[in-house]
Structure 1
């Protein structure tokens, strides 16, 4: 490749967050456009590492960038808005607009550094590390209301305003629900400063739902949230609460390791 071609190419990043926001960035010194998306030159992101392989081993990548109030802020990183976001990395010719896609993956760990951030990227090849062969387990292996479980998610999803918030306990209160039904479920904020952010419900305390992380700033009583009920994945709950034993994806009645490893005895 000639020096003239190299001098007209820049890196670009397309980031698709789980809350529906799509952002574009480029290493060029001015804004560009690709596929209807504005690629911002400021704050700009630079590739700290990018290793591509032709085999099934995972590709390594990392990106570094600056923090700004309107694109990537410390508050958004802390709130988890970029966790698990889809990332596409490529090169773009800033004269012709020709692009070449190099890398697909998701954002893994992010950390704040001096005047900016650093993010590790997980290649789509990471999916090859997943073992598709199911293992026996006493609990159900299916995700609640997902394929395998086959229950309708609309039956167990509720659009409700939060009535009380306890920030120190990471707990929220909703009226008209049975809190125990939402243990191991999830919450997604539908409006306000935290719109699109998700939490797992990890506990129930005196009628309050305990979340897996801090409640985002700007969430006030009256903020609407989408609540999904949860399941403890036991055969008893599947039978008594949901009547869904036919779809139970587990083996609750297999003998345990103690019985298999035990010695025979005379009766």
Structure 2
């Protein structure tokens, strides 16, 4: 059930024309929050201002049903004329274009909340707003001119495998997560792109580690045309990192990046490379599945 303020209820029951606008609260992957509206003027409620003309925003309708049902809202984002650039204290895509940031994973794992402002006019803030939808960002499809973002209700979290962790040979933790506890900063190295780089092959200059050290890790570009983009490292041999996927832009000599050590989730790697066997959560001594044939 949704609740509204007394002023809003009285306005809606008065059957007179009123103003309304959608208020988008967008929290990105890096913890920065953006407040945008599809209105032509700023909307300020409870000390928070939703700004217009940041991004062209439209969305599909939402629905309310009795019971438990996962709803999905589709949000369309397009840059405004002249281009939309991003800001944010923690956002590596700050200063870059909207679509480029979305391709690089700006909203992967983020959240979008939509409220509906209602007032006698766009300067009447006495009625407040009503919550329309809130959820987690799912699929993001980026074209040349806009992005289509699926926002899924938090009820989707109920559709999970239980028990969450299986008995298996490899560790079930993700490297550097709260279960793993390894500090990523302790296994990160700054470097620059060397000569001979391609979209999938990065000669690493400025740091030197043993072959395989960065395999299954990641590389985050901090300057150049790929600034803000994160790519998985498939292999690392002779100071050359082979990426899991092609970069969106050709890297150039001198482009800066941070590269992180990888883990193959084996107990020997956990012990010898990270000194973290106490937090290893695999089951290397579980018997392997076997087929028994009898007559």
Query: TM-score, normalised on structure 2?
Result: 0.74
How far apart, CA to CA, are the structure 1 residues paired with 2:17 and 2:201?
Answer: 51
| Greater mean alpha carbon deviation, residues 87-96 or residues 39-48 | 39-48
Give the direction of change, closer, same or farther, for the CA distance of 1:49–1:183 in structure 2 (3 Å limit): farther
SS at match of 1:24: strand
Match of 1:160 in 2: 191
Match of 1:110 in 2: 140
| Greater fraction of residues in helix | 1
Any stretches of 5+ residues in structure 2 without a counterpart? Answer: 1-11, 86-96
Q: How does 1:204-215 map to 2 (within 5 A)?
A: 204-215=236-247
CA contact (8 A) 1:170 1:215 kept: no
State yes or no: 1:40 paired with 2:52.
yes
How far the C-alpha of 1:11 sits from its partner, in A, is: 1.1
How far the C-alpha of 1:219 sits from its partner, in A, is: 5.2
How far apart, CA to CA, are the structure 2 residues paired with 1:236 and 1:109?
Answer: 36
| Greater mean alpha carbon deviation, residues 30-39 or residues 89-98 | 30-39
State yes or no: 1:18 paired with 2:18.
no
CA contact (8 A) 1:14 1:23 kept: yes
How far apart, CA to CA, are the structure 1 residues paired with 2:64 and 2:52?
Answer: 25
Give the direction of change, closer, same or farther, for the CA distance of 1:149–1:11 in structure 2 (3 Å limit): same
Match of 1:57 in 2: 69
SS at match of 2:115: strand
How far the C-alpha of 1:192 sits from its partner, in A, is: 4.9
How far apart, CA to CA, are the structure 2 residues paired with 1:224 and 1:247?
Answer: 32
State yes or no: 1:96 paired with 2:128.
no
| Greater fraction of residues in strand | 1
How far apart, CA to CA, are the structure 2 residues paired with 1:225 and 1:257?
Answer: 43
How far apart, CA to CA, are the structure 2 residues paired with 1:54 and 1:165?
Answer: 60
CA contact (8 A) 1:19 1:197 kept: no
State yes or no: 1:187 paired with 2:187.
no
CA contact (8 A) 1:23 1:37 kept: no
Give the direction of change, closer, same or farther, for the CA distance of 1:56–1:150 in structure 2 (3 Å limit): same
Query: TM-score, normalised on structure 1?
Result: 0.80
Q: Which 4+ stretches in 1 moved above 6 angstroms?
A: none
Give the direction of change, closer, same or farther, for the CA distance of 1:226–1:64 in structure 2 (3 Å limit): same
CA RMSD, aligned part only? 3.2
| Greater mean alpha carbon deviation, residues 232-241 or residues 42-51 | 42-51
Residues 127-158 of structure 1, C-alpha deviations (whole Å, 9 max, x = no match): 22233522111100112232332333332122
User: How many residues were matched structurally?
Assistant: 263
